[in-house]
Structure 1
């Protein structure tokens, strides 16, 4: 493993600022990264000397960086765990990651009995008075972090990254999005996923920016923060479902709405990722703000791989070009493959899965199907090879393509398209649709849904089964686990033939 500059060296030199809710929820606190690093050093003194895996609950407070940085200062592997996870999920991560110690506030201790607990409330955060520059002025060649996948493709697996990986990812993000000390980034994403950790937190802090964490992703709080005249937000990052909720909430905001519109328009960047953004959301955001959402593509295993430019044309439905250090190609059957220094090292204790993830010539197989437009010089994600490619009556159909059409209907707010196994057809195209309040069946949609589908989709692409729902189940990142949908909504698939 080649040595890499210690990421915390950049954190210290840039002197970014982090503001976040207090652990007890009573107000917020704001500190520069230099002070946070000193507090991390105070925590590190209570960790073992021998490198191991150390876990902590990923609350959106200053404790996140205090814990993560303390773990790195002692050459351990950081294992952030969702604070919303249940005991069984935490036990799986702690056992699978071989965690020996866990950093916790007293309020969180109850569910963590299988490891050595280091109590943050018992540590004097101001006890360390050493030389910070000397502490971080080094190169490291160690493993850095274990992130557990969301489980949309099976049981959660630990994705192991090195310090070199994180350094490359941060460098790409800083360069591609021109992050600087003048930026103020709004943060309300989960901190046990790469989106919230790298894109929304570490990269901005390494650039000297201010990151403002919210206690929750409440649309009213987000709009109020955007409308604020002082300390204006310059960068907003969210998943498409959050942008959808923001647009729906905008219609219900009190008049006058000029401050809300002005706040959205003054954003330097509004970035969407983690799943494909429906055209309807892209169009509505542009109509409101006169700016287009910047779509990008990434995943836990490779960081951010593809992205649209901050200046220049962005094409609806396309995710742009590779990030500076990333190479991409289209393999067999449209499989998207990438390589570069931002890639993960391995699946933790799963050598077989790790080997299968890479081609013989060294490219990581993302599991997504894509196409590249020579005319637009941009990649387009067609969906997951397993769940978003539906094989029906001899056709290979893109679920995302069908979803884009469904979302063009004026009363469809959200949808998910998936395949249900069938002996006759192989799979049947099935859709879950959420509409406006008060609409409970397909027959109530206007214009009539069957006629709309017939006019906009080839016959073999039209969903044969449509479920109207008030909410579509999602995981913590706002992603829909399509593998679960048949068991939730289609108990007798063969009856649909």
Structure 2
């Protein structure tokens, strides 16, 4: 699985760097073997997944021992930590990177289809669920992405993403160890850290890219890179254009979920358009479940990267699939009939707005609002309306512009029926650790006090 650790790509003192600390593959393997010896035979083990060499060693150690690794978010509250540990049956483990072993760890009966990682969902619809990912799903995804992005041992991967999500842990750590690319984790994903890392391949979420685009000198330092990749949330079109202007690169976007890993992506060297996430990776099939006459609908997919199920929740697992075996993403998408390029509109639960008989994607309106020079953030939701069914309400962070001006601006860019019926000004759009807008928080009593 982790080809870099078997000597295929040689070794060097700074093969892995995390928050200013470096390690060779040999040193990492020694620390991981010590972890593997500690956890061998356990049903699962958990580590507080800080941005550290200890977390990297824990992830590798779990794979060596054939024991599922459960990364705990460092900022998880006591109730969330207790739930994850109880639900997964994992013992909380402390890793000492200085303690290394050269002993061969005997694996138990765990195979490529057995659990390798258990990642927990955000819990927006109840207690977080454990998503079981197998080694073969991880390998299939990383190999497909390596081909799509031309990712090789000649690259230096740079990112500063959390190590308890797919983006930072699977792509950003295991991906580097599978392709043999040097890994530089910046600790915090600041523009200055990205600019000084000297990478050829950069991963970021929209918040990271937005901050880099706001620092022209830092952005210009990335001009020597080979590829910029954005994910975990939609990259606003203005940020895309700013990055292209400042770095000379058109960032590649990709789409995935914890349950599916990355399934759709733009390609290195291919045509990249803002607001799109490319085409399915090899082995992935997608379809749009749209109502008659609609050009958008739920994205459903199947392929080798899908999860093995929700831990201990067979009913929830079954409900995640259609009767004919396709995974229901819950995301609304459209596919270009000419080239198959996918565009993600938003979540079905909150981003599909049914207003006045029309089905409208919130993401399209958000991108239109973000094209206004005085708007820095935008989130669009549908709220119940006796006449329209749902009324389009836009929450924006902006200065020097009125709600009426923004409504007219959207109407001039999109169909008139897609214009916001109400614009509310807020100080900031609430987001999670990966930069995804938390729209339900905008509809709380406190948010309703936003300035109209």
Structure 2 match to 1:414: 377
Q: Cα distance 1:451–1:176, how it changes in 2: closer, same or farther (>3 A)?
A: closer
- Flag the structure with more relative contact order, 1 or 2, with Cα contacts below 8 A and sequence separation at least 6: 1
Structure 2 match to 1:394: 357
1:234 aligns with 2:206: no
Which deviations, in whole Å up to 9, do the C-alpha atoms of 1:261-306 show, x marking residues without a partner? 5522111110111112121111111111222010111111111111
Which deviations, in whole Å up to 9, do the C-alpha atoms of 1:333-382 show, x marking residues without a partner? 42211111111000111111100111222211111121211223311112
Q: Normalization by structure 1: what TM-score? A: 0.83
Distance, in Å, in 2 between the alignment partners of 1:141 and 1:453 is 49
Which deviations, in whole Å up to 9, do the C-alpha atoms of 1:144-164 show, x marking residues without a partner? 111111234543211111111
1:44 aligns with 2:36: yes
Counterpart selection for 1:31 from 3, 23, 40: 23
Structure 2 match to 1:88: 79
Q: Aligned-pair distance for 1:448?
A: 3.8
Report SS of the residue matched to 2:93: strand
Structure 2 match to 1:343: 306
1:190 aligns with 2:188: no
Distance, in Å, in 1 between the alignment partners of 2:448 and 2:113 is 51
Q: Contact between 2:220 and 2:246, CA under 8 Å: does it hold in 1?
A: no
Q: Cα distance 1:488–1:344, how it changes in 2: closer, same or farther (>3 A)?
A: farther
Distance, in Å, in 2 between the alignment partners of 1:272 and 1:90 is 29
Structure 1 match to 2:420: 463
Q: Contact between 1:15 and 1:32, CA under 8 Å: does it hold in 2?
A: no
Which deviations, in whole Å up to 9, do the C-alpha atoms of 1:11-49 show, x marking residues without a partner? 43345721113xxxxxx32112232112111222222x4
1:220 aligns with 2:212: no
Q: Contact between 1:421 and 1:428, CA under 8 Å: does it hold in 2?
A: yes
Report SS of the residue matched to 2:410: helix
Q: Matches of residues 8-157 of structure 1 in structure 2 within 5 Å? A: 8-9=2-3, 11-12=5-6, 13-15=8-10, 17-21=15-19, 28-47=20-39, 49-99=40-90, 101-104=91-94, 120-121=95-96, 125-126=99-100, 128-131=101-104, 140-157=112-129
Q: Contact between 2:332 and 2:361, CA under 8 Å: does it hold in 1?
A: no
Which deviations, in whole Å up to 9, do the C-alpha atoms of 1:63-96 show, x marking residues without a partner? 1121122223222111001112121221121122
Distance, in Å, in 1 between the alignment partners of 2:219 and 2:332 is 36
Q: Contact between 1:165 and 1:342, CA under 8 Å: does it hold in 2?
A: yes
Q: Matches of residues 441-456 of structure 1 in structure 2 within 5 Å? A: 442-443=401-402, 448-456=405-413
Structure 1 stretches of at least 4 aligned residues deviating more than 6 Å after TM superposition:
none
1:296 aligns with 2:254: yes
1:206 aligns with 2:198: no
Out of 163-172 and 344-353, give the one that drifted further.
163-172
Q: Aligned-pair distance for 1:492?
A: 9.0
Report SS of the residue matched to 1:487: coil
Counterpart selection for 1:375 from 331, 338, 341: 338
Structure 2 match to 1:243: 209
Q: Contact between 2:221 and 2:247, CA under 8 Å: does it hold in 1?
A: no
Q: Cα distance 1:124–1:204, how it changes in 2: closer, same or farther (>3 A)?
A: closer
Q: Aligned-pair distance for 1:202?
A: 1.0
Distance, in Å, in 2 between the alignment partners of 1:207 and 1:9 is 7
Q: Cα distance 1:50–1:139, how it changes in 2: closer, same or farther (>3 A)?
A: closer
Distance, in Å, in 2 between the alignment partners of 1:129 and 1:349 is 35
Distance, in Å, in 2 between the alignment partners of 1:489 and 1:396 is 28
Q: Aligned-pair distance for 1:238?
A: 0.9
Q: Cα distance 1:189–1:488, how it changes in 2: closer, same or farther (>3 A)?
A: farther
Q: Cα distance 1:14–1:131, how it changes in 2: closer, same or farther (>3 A)?
A: farther
Distance, in Å, in 1 between the alignment partners of 2:243 and 2:304 is 34
1:180 aligns with 2:152: yes
Structure 1 match to 2:294: none
Q: Contact between 1:150 and 1:475, CA under 8 Å: does it hold in 2?
A: no
Distance, in Å, in 2 between the alignment partners of 1:362 and 1:482 is 30
Q: Contact between 1:295 and 1:319, CA under 8 Å: does it hold in 2?
A: yes
Q: Cα distance 1:64–1:243, how it changes in 2: closer, same or farther (>3 A)?
A: same
Distance, in Å, in 1 between the alignment partners of 2:363 and 2:286 is 21
Q: Is there any run of 5+ residues in structure 1 with no aligned partner, and where?
A: 1-6, 22-27, 105-119, 227-231, 251-256
Report SS of the residue matched to 1:397: strand
Report SS of the residue matched to 1:130: coil
Q: Cα distance 1:46–1:490, how it changes in 2: closer, same or farther (>3 A)?
A: closer
Q: Cα distance 1:163–1:276, how it changes in 2: closer, same or farther (>3 A)?
A: same
Distance, in Å, in 1 between the alignment partners of 2:438 and 2:87 is 22
Q: Contact between 2:116 and 2:134, CA under 8 Å: does it hold in 1?
A: yes
